[in-house]
Structure 1
Amino acid sequence: MNRSFKATAVAVTFCAVAGAGIAGYGEAAAQAQSPLASAATGRHGHGGVVSGTRKIRVGGHSVNVSCSGRSAGRKPVVVLMAGGGDGLDTMADLQKSLSEKVRVCSYDRLGEGASDQPNGTQTIDDTGRILTGVLDRIAGDRPVVLAGHSLGGYIAARYAPDHRDRVKGLVLMDATIPALTAGVTKAIPASATGMAAELRDQTIAVNEGQNPERFLIADAGVRSAGNIPVRIIKHESQYSEVPDYGPALERMWADGQREWRALSRRSSLSTAAGSGHYIHVDRPDIAIEAIQRVTASATAHR
């Protein structure tokens, strides 16, 4: 494995962007006007009509979604959100297991999987408008629990505070931390060389929009999403490839996970023993248990 590939593999922890080099992630063509300004924001009462995997239209874009399981009573719909560089297929096993008891959906964000490419650089507001349009179709007026991995967790955590009427629970599986750019530049100084320097530079580039979604991963404080159940799960170990800076990176990541606790007074943080960044793959039992508990709690408090 060459040095560049190793650095990129470690960078997966930050936002789950996989590949052999940043250059292949697409151009960050910034536009003065939001490319998704026309995305649907109202509810349409179509929840539950999507079954299996299909394409839906959201804000003029084709979005790939997958739903399985049946709704029961007023249980929330569980929505799985993959990390950056990943499609909904990476959530397939988790979705299959969860759908035995609840309705579960997943989707490819613009630039991922089988969904359309974005028109230009996306902000959190842009990707949020697409998520709202998706929820209108797959959940209608039903409450939802968002369960996100890595960048998917970051987006879920940023979305929930502005949609308290809809989001009734969160599960963050090694979510990208609230201030990743500041964290990685502190953990790996500009004087670093070799793979550590490559990791630092790649992470900054990805955060600036050089990723499949052309999504700007901005540093920001954590806002409250109300008194909803929130389960935050972090990896156990991930940074052995950069031993000189591994301890600092682990502290950075752990501190960032603790920051997400400010989302709710009913938040909890735990470590998935034996897990790397892909917690739902390495320890699906922990991911399933967390999602089921949050869904049950969200149902009980309605």
Structure 2
Amino acid sequence: MNRTLKATAVAATCCAVAGAGTIGYRNVTAEAQTHRASDTTARHGHDDSFSGTKKIRVEGHSVNVSCSGHSAHRQPVVVLMAGGGDGLDTMADLQKTLSEKARVCSYDRLGEGSSDQPSGTQTVNDSSKILTGVLDRIAGDRPVVLAGHSLGGLIAARYAPDHRDRVKGLVLMDATIPALTAGISKAIPASATGPAAELRDQTIAVNKGQNPEKFIIADAKVRSAGNIPVQIIKHESQYAEVPDYGPALEQMWTEGQHQWLALSSRSSISTAAGSGHYIHVDRPDIAVKAIQRVTTQATLR
């Protein structure tokens, strides 16, 4: 697959950068995952004192986590969730800025960054178990705001309805849409050829689990997480490299983003002007303001 198409595949599936191997995912090198500290000793409750990166045991796996900043006892802990193919390092700049006013953590899902490889195919339920274990350690009984990009946003959105006692706010940054396989199959028909056909076929393959996390990205309806504050941010432009199907793909993505509004009676959606799929990189100012606003709203609940 050529370089420009790989960049286009970013938004159509989970998360990537130009030059990636498997469509929708970024190849992560060991050199890019150098961290300051490692600690595999299990602890009870959360630790609001450590800053940096360490490893914890969750569900029998080693999971890489990073935390920084401090906050008032009742203020939610902000948890950043990277997209598919990305480690927590891609959230480092965002975490640094946010941690000036809040306690902020991030983690590598199984198969990403410096965390263990998954033992087999993963579903949303498997990923949720890991997330619960991570939250138990980094937040304890404190509320959390989940801020996810791409696949991280989809996982956060699927997690929140079943954990209303814990998740008090969501920020979805160009989250993978709720029914991506059906959407891309409609936007790019089976009769398509060339780069568009590659994009369609590889997106469907990634959704079936052909990705570093072995994560099955299943189409499903959006369930309500109650009346928590939810901010949905979508990219402005992403599909210029497949002009024949670009308008249909943009419509697919926009409709999918609007479906996430069903998460809460307090959901809102906006477009990040001048942004591609990596909103927190292209427009970090928008991402920071959205997360800070949702955290403030969640604190007042």
TM normalised by structure 2 equals 0.91
Report the 3-state secondary structure (helix = DSSP H, G, I; strand = E; otherwise coil) of the residue aligned with 1:22. Answer: coil
**Following TM superposition, by how much is the alpha carbon of 1:11 offset from its aligned partner in structure 2, in angstroms?**
1.3
Distance in 2, matches of 1:140 and 1:113, equals 24
Report the 3-state secondary structure (helix = DSSP H, G, I; strand = E; otherwise coil) of the residue aligned with 1:204. Answer: helix
Report the 3-state secondary structure (helix = DSSP H, G, I; strand = E; otherwise coil) of the residue aligned with 2:243. Answer: coil
Residue in 2 that maps onto 1:180: 180
Distance in 2, matches of 1:184 and 1:283, equals 26
Report if the CA contact (8 A) 2:9-2:24 is conserved: no
**Following TM superposition, by how much is the alpha carbon of 1:93 offset from its aligned partner in structure 2, in angstroms?**
0.3
TM normalised by structure 1 equals 0.91
Distance in 1, matches of 2:185 and 2:3, equals 20
Report the 3-state secondary structure (helix = DSSP H, G, I; strand = E; otherwise coil) of the residue aligned with 2:9. Answer: helix
**Following TM superposition, by how much is the alpha carbon of 1:10 offset from its aligned partner in structure 2, in angstroms?**
1.3
Report the 3-state secondary structure (helix = DSSP H, G, I; strand = E; otherwise coil) of the residue aligned with 1:15. Answer: coil
Report the 3-state secondary structure (helix = DSSP H, G, I; strand = E; otherwise coil) of the residue aligned with 2:2. Answer: helix
Aligned structure 1 segments of 4 or more residues deviating by more than 4 angstroms: none
Question: For 1:178-224, what per-residue CA distance to the aligned partner results, in whole angstroms no more than 9, with x for missing partners?
Answer: 00000000000000000000000010010000111000000000000
Query: Counterpart amino acid of 1:222?
Result: V
Pick aligned residue for 1:8 from 2, 6, 9? 6
**Following TM superposition, by how much is the alpha carbon of 1:72 offset from its aligned partner in structure 2, in angstroms?**
1.2
Report if the CA contact (8 A) 2:10-2:24 is conserved: no
Distance in 2, matches of 1:279 and 1:83, equals 11
Larger relative contact order (Cα-Cα within 8 Å, sequence gap ≥ 6): 1
Report the 3-state secondary structure (helix = DSSP H, G, I; strand = E; otherwise coil) of the residue aligned with 1:64. Answer: strand
Query: Counterpart amino acid of 1:53?
Result: T
Residue in 1 that maps onto 2:38: none
**Following TM superposition, by how much is the alpha carbon of 1:46 offset from its aligned partner in structure 2, in angstroms?**
2.4
Query: Counterpart amino acid of 1:15?
Result: C
Alignment of 1:71-150 (within 5 A): 71-150=71-150
Distance in 1, matches of 2:176 and 2:224, equals 17
Report if the CA contact (8 A) 1:150-1:175 is conserved: yes
Report if the CA contact (8 A) 1:174-1:279 is conserved: yes
Query: Counterpart amino acid of 1:192?
Result: A
Residue in 2 that maps onto 1:37: none
**Following TM superposition, by how much is the alpha carbon of 1:24 offset from its aligned partner in structure 2, in angstroms?**
11
Alignment of 1:255-294 (within 5 A): 255-294=255-294
Report if the CA contact (8 A) 1:50-1:137 is conserved: no
Report if the CA contact (8 A) 1:169-1:230 is conserved: yes
Report if the CA contact (8 A) 1:98-1:288 is conserved: yes
Residue in 2 that maps onto 1:33: none
Query: Counterpart amino acid of 1:241?
Result: E
Residue in 2 that maps onto 1:30: none
**Following TM superposition, by how much is the alpha carbon of 1:22 offset from its aligned partner in structure 2, in angstroms?**
2.8
Distance in 1, matches of 2:297 and 2:24, equals 42
Would you say how many aligned residue pairs link Structure 1 and Structure 2? 283
> Which deviates more, 3-12 or 267-276?
3-12
**Following TM superposition, by how much is the alpha carbon of 1:44 offset from its aligned partner in structure 2, in angstroms?**
4.6
Residue in 1 that maps onto 2:33: none
Q: Percent identity?
A: 80
Report if the CA contact (8 A) 1:6-1:195 is conserved: no
Alignment of 1:143-182 (within 5 A): 143-182=143-182
Question: For 1:33-59, what per-residue CA distance to the aligned partner results, in whole angstroms no more than 9, with x for missing partners?
Answer: xxxxxxxxxx95224254310011111
Residue in 2 that maps onto 1:48: 48
**Following TM superposition, by how much is the alpha carbon of 1:23 offset from its aligned partner in structure 2, in angstroms?**
8.8
**Following TM superposition, by how much is the alpha carbon of 1:252 offset from its aligned partner in structure 2, in angstroms?**
0.2
**Following TM superposition, by how much is the alpha carbon of 1:12 offset from its aligned partner in structure 2, in angstroms?**
1.3
Distance in 1, matches of 2:240 and 2:268, equals 27
Residue in 2 that maps onto 1:227: 227
